[in-house]
Amino acid sequence: MATGTESPRQRGGVHTGTRAAITAPHLRTDRWWLAPACTAAGLLAFVVYSTWRAFANADYYAAPYVSPFYSPCLAENCHAMRAGPNADLFGGWWGISPAIIILVFPLGFRLTCYYYRKAYYRAFWASPPACAVAEPHRSYTGESRFPLILQNVHRYFFYAALLVAGVLTYDTVLAFRDQHYRWGHMGLGTLVFLANIVLIWAYTLSCHSCRHIVGGKLKHFSKHPLRYRAWQFVGALNARHMQLAWASLLSVALADLYVYLVASGVFDDPRFF
């Protein structure tokens, strides 16, 4: 997107000759840096945690719970999960953690998400760091060229994310069993999984691509009343896309952490019935 950096005095932008001669790259007096700093800290924390868990290849199944990072589990080296989300598509040659196979899709979905793009462009690439705060890059082509033109694959990842959300819904249904696979039971983990799947679906359906597909692409809503209603519903979710992005990111990490703690024997899943 942008290349090279140099001091403000050397470059154009707000220091272009015809503009008001003001030396400072910006004159904001509020704490404009706080939001990008918090964003960077939150995303970095998740990246560190999820990288550790994705490569750990251990403690991701504690019957009847399977970590959302490892579901569906598509390699032969997956933990045997009775009636669980196993599908040995990759066979025995896959030697590393099976989480890597599936995490590509939710990762890609979030990486190309319109909200996260705003978040990391601001927080990590300072493009711009905040509104009316000069960015440090000499040139800028945005998403008009490779590699950032690839952000347009968000639509592909949205379709994949629907499938992953479907599998996680299945996992949540499986969480209504006990550790002996008997149905009609519920534990604290079931609640964690329920909260997580609600947030995952809310985030996935609030996606801008979803909003466009269900109705936004239409020119005449009046000719498609059902799609208009769907567009309104998704639009209401979409207005909270940022909040849902963070809430679902946190919930998926917490669901994985819960499984990890139970699987590693830190505590037993409290059973309600």
Interacting residues with other proteins (CB under 8 A)? 1, 12-14, 16-22, 26-30, 114, 117-118, 121-122, 127-128, 131-135, 137, 139-145, 148-149, 152-156, 159, 208-209, 212, 216-217, 219-222, 228, 238-239
Question: From residue 206, how far is each of 213, 232, 238, 242 by CA, in Å?
Answer: 11, 11, 4, 9
Q: Which is nearer to other proteins, 9 or 30 (CB)?
A: 30
Question: Which helix (H) or strand (E) segment is 61 a member of?
Answer: strand 61-62
> Cβ closer to other proteins: 101 or 123?
123
- Which amino acid is it at 256? D
| Closest approach of other proteins to the CB of residue 164, in Å | 17
Q: Which residues are within 8 A (CB) of 38 and not within 5 positions of it... i.e. 6 or more apart?
A: none
Nearer to other proteins, 240 or 271 (CB): 240
Minimal distance, residue 35 CB to other proteins, in Å: 11
CA 170 to chain centre: 19
Q: Which two tokens stand for residue 146?
A: 């490779």
Tell me how far, at minimum, the Cβ of 72 lies from other proteins, in Å: 21
CB 92 within 8 A of CB 77: yes
CB of 34 to other proteins, least distance (A): 15
Cβ distance 106 to 232 under 8 Å? no
**Tokens 């251990």, residue?**
58
* Residue 151, φ and ψ in degrees, nearest 5: -60, -20
Q: Which residues contact 270 (CB under 8 A, 6 or more apart)?
A: 187, 188
**Closest approach of Cβ 70 to other proteins, in Å?**
27
For residue 65, the 8-state DSSP code is: E
Cα distances (angstroms) measured from residue 71 to each of 16, 57, 66: 53, 12, 7
Which residues have a Cβ under 8 Å from the Cβ of 124 and sit 6 or more positions away?
40, 43
